[in-house]
Amino acid sequence: MILSELIDLDILRVIWWVLLGVLLIGFALTDGFDMGVGALLPFVGKSDVERRVVINTIGPVWEGNQVWFILGGGAIFAAWPPLYAVSFSGFYLAMFTVLAALILRPVGFKYRSKRDSAAWRNGWDWALFVGGAVPALLFGVAVGNVLLGVPFHLSDDLMSFYDGNFFTKFVGLLRPFALLSGVVSLSMLLMHGAAWLTLKTEGPVQIRARTIGTYAGIVAAVTYALAGVWLAFGVEGFHMVGEVPANGPSNPLYNEVARGGSWLAAYSLRPWIVIAPIMGFVGIAMAVMGLRAGREVSTLLWSKLAITGIISSVGLTMFPFILPSIVDPNSSLSVWDSSSSQQTLFVMLVMAVIFVPIILAYTAWVYKVLWGKVTEEEITGSGHSY
């Protein structure tokens, strides 16, 4: 017997759907506070030393946090090839914008203090702001577009085609609901960044972070609730027609899909998934109260719970769909018809079981070594700080 046959294809598909969600959540939990801190930089740091304190809270860890982003992209490429092909081609301009913004972060870290000029450093501070705020916003816009459905269709030989020209592919993503989802993402990560700064800083920087983070958390809760209402009454959902074989061929055109009803119908079919939005709202509420009360470790943990719940609610609500099509619903990509082969998924699972614990252990060790607050005395007295 071939080893890959030890686990059925349908089980492997669900496992990799879960693992993809774990990788995306891991990215949001770690690199999310990096982006939040970058977006907060010009507002929580008023002097050059204060801004250097803010930068040095994430400077030693941001590169390691990017691992989750790379792993997520790799998982999409290897486990869900049609998703990689369709999304990376259709969202090309948006992804290019995100990558361009992310590139500003390492460049800003390296070059900001190369010249003792207020204008020079202020310019790089705003570049770091762009490197944090733009990806945080556009990631949410992308999620909103996935919920709305993407204007693509597949030919008989599974080539993907998008409606519109090169420019409208980007502008067409800026739909009202998608922009609202972007606000949810941005405010959520601003709260998360503020929770991180509350843990890692003290004095005026910490006070400003707590104040801004509190307002960001309130905005996140309100916009998340509004997005839920909009999904219930203003966005058509997708559903499979007839019986769908969970271990069927990896051909999206094999199954019949129809539009209609609400995405939130999933909560009547699988009532247990209500735990995800509950985690989102409870996490936000407790994080906001923690910020107001000046709590540190627990506030960051509650913020992580909020992010986990919000992202999980999207995946659980859409299951089994991964990327629905508003042009041709039958071209929609789902868990059951868009995966790699059984052997590929099994080999990747073995690699994940080996290497993900190693990454987690190394990450935990790094944060243990770097535990503690970043102070102005350390920044001004060390030649190794940013």
Q: What is the pLDDT of residues 89-102, one digit of tens each?
A: 878 888 888 999 99
Residue pointed to by tokens 């948006």:
94
The predicted structure's pLDDT at residue 63:
83
Residue pair 59/109 in contact by the 8 Å Cβ criterion: yes
217: closest CA among 125, 275, 130, 283? 283
Highest mean pLDDT among 55-64, 300-309, 328-337: 300-309
The predicted structure's pLDDT at residue 246:
82
> Which residues are CB-contacts of 338 (< 8 A; sequence separation ≥ 6)?
80, 81, 82, 83, 250, 252, 322, 323
Give, to the nearest 10 degrees, the angle between helix 176-200 and helix 118-148.
Answer: 130
The predicted structure's pLDDT at residue 370:
84
The predicted structure's pLDDT at residue 168:
59
Residue pair 209/299 in contact by the 8 Å Cβ criterion: no
Report the chain's mean pLDDT, rounded to a whole number.
90
Q: Examine residue 346 and state whether it is found in any structural domain, yes or no.
A: yes
Q: Using CA of residue 144, residue 68, residue 7, residue 85, what is the dihedral sign?
A: positive
pLDDT band at 229 (very low <50, low <70, confident <90, very high): very high
The predicted structure's pLDDT at residue 114:
85
What backbone phi and psi angles, to 5 degrees, belong to 296?
Answer: -115, -70
Residue pair 160/89 in contact by the 8 Å Cβ criterion: yes
Q: Examine residue 384 and state whether it is found in any structural domain, yes or no.
A: no
Residue pair 135/69 in contact by the 8 Å Cβ criterion: no
The predicted structure's pLDDT at residue 64:
82
Residue pair 87/173 in contact by the 8 Å Cβ criterion: no
Q: Examine residue 262 and state whether it is found in any structural domain, yes or no.
A: yes
Q: Examine residue 192 and state whether it is found in any structural domain, yes or no.
A: yes
Say what percent of the chain tops pLDDT 70.
95
Is pLDDT above 70 for 271?
A: yes
CA dist 61 and 63 (Å) reads: 6
The predicted structure's pLDDT at residue 1:
47
| pLDDT tens digits, 208-222 | 999 999 999 999 999
Q: Examine residue 93 and state whether it is found in any structural domain, yes or no.
A: yes
pLDDT band at 164 (very low <50, low <70, confident <90, very high): low
Domains: count for the chain: 1
CA dist 131 and 34 (Å) reads: 10
- Which domain, by its residues, includes 69? 3-378
23: closest CA among 323, 334, 311? 311
Q: Examine residue 153 and state whether it is found in any structural domain, yes or no.
A: yes
Q: Examine residue 385 and state whether it is found in any structural domain, yes or no.
A: no
The predicted structure's pLDDT at residue 4:
56
Is pLDDT above 80 for 169?
A: no
The predicted structure's pLDDT at residue 218:
97
pLDDT band at 171 (very low <50, low <70, confident <90, very high): low
| pLDDT tens digits, 53-110 | 999 999 888 888 888 888 888 888 889 999 988 888 878 888 888 999 999 988 998 8
CA dist 193 and 206 (Å) reads: 11
Is pLDDT above 90 for 19?
A: yes
Q: Examine residue 383 and state whether it is found in any structural domain, yes or no.
A: no
Is pLDDT above 70 for 320?
A: yes
Residue pair 69/27 in contact by the 8 Å Cβ criterion: yes
The residues with which 222 forms a beta bridge, in sequence order, are: none
pLDDT band at 3 (very low <50, low <70, confident <90, very high): low
Instruction: State the Rg of the chain over Cα.
Output: 22
Tokens of 266: 């999933």
Question: Looking at residues 295-317, what average pLDDT do you find?
Answer: 96
242: left (phi over 0), alpha (psi -120 to 50) or beta: left
